[in-house]
Structure 1
Amino acid sequence: MKRITTLALIVAAGPAMATCPTRADLRQGIVLVQNEPIFIRADIELRPDGFNEVRLITDADEVKSVVTLTYDHALAPMSVNEGGEVRLLSYTGDTGALDDLARLGDVSLSLTEVSMGEETTRPLLFNHVGDGTRGILDCTYDTWTIRVMEASASGEIDTREVEYAPEIGAILSERRITPDGDETLYDYTWIGTSADVAR
């Protein structure tokens, strides 16, 4: 059995959770896991300076990579470190309005990105598509379906759709929408606290 399969089974078949994770558990850490088609484990922790998220990704060929994100809001990351390549992100507009997206319907921001010494600015539109619920293991969370549209300097529009759980301040799934079809980037099927994983 491949190592990644073993690791995935350990997480998926671990001890039952004491309770379903809530936002209050973020100070100790929440863990989200996808086992198939590739293994992704996201550890999210609320620190004094904001949220810190570390994603461990292992593909079908057992090639491992780590992505680290920092943010005040999961929909608006401030830094992304992927394989040592760091992107710094800042926003013009009220990112706090994202907490009220279900009522507002739309939120527009301007995103400035600094990467490899180059700075680019482009518009962002967050559109609340609808409300729903998401079951993960024995837990059920209210969710918002949000479409995120990002325009490039050339005028091309990158469109993503995320399933966001306001109760825990986390994105549970994300897919990219293209003219050729949709591509699922991740879709978590296991959730627990850091203490659950340690037991």
Structure 2
Amino acid sequence: MARQYKLARKMKKITLTVAAEDLGVSQPTLSAWESGRRSPTIEALIRMSEYYGVTVDFLLGKAKESDSRVDMTLPVSKEMLPALHEAPVYSPKNGWAFVDAVERQLRFATGLSLPFADVQDVYMLPPLFSTAAAPQHKPLSKAELAGLDEVWVEPISADITLRQELRGWYHVKARFVENEMGQRFYFDFYGAKWLAFVGQWDSER
């Protein structure tokens, strides 16, 4: 939940100081809510919901919990995209992307960034009519990386040559993944600079 409070503020592009003042609480109090050290009252949750322009369910993290009940074969609505922050979605036209609710855009492995307003059909899983070249697995979440020894990495870049040079199998370390050549991708840049899969991505995009 605390993560959702901070995400909602970032989506509105408001500083902690300004948000605290507008919400009528001290900066340390709002900081404590966002870090999980303290919990807001129901009244404060409602105020945050109205102020940030999101639902109380979003602040409580229930929007993401409902993902498993969504028909993953149907397109994801634009309204639902903010609730999928840092989750992977699939576009039949452009492939896998990570949802960036803060900047309100999708970030594709090809380096393409697409504003939510321009998004057409995207899915939680590739639809049956997607091309044969589509990857068989969706990108891993950052949390899933910790439980693996090795992953297939796809760099996010508009430079095709660079993507071809750096893509491949990487060993998972504490803060980064590293290939046999010593090349690294750090977890801090996951979803922005690279994506990881449990199996090889055969697409040559």
TM range (shorter): 0.3 to 0.5
Determine which structure has the larger strand proportion and give its number. Answer: 1
Higher Cα radius of gyration: 2
Q: Normalising by the residue count of structure 1, what TM-score does the alignment of the two structures yield? A: 0.32
In terms of fraction of residues, the more helix-rich structure is: 2
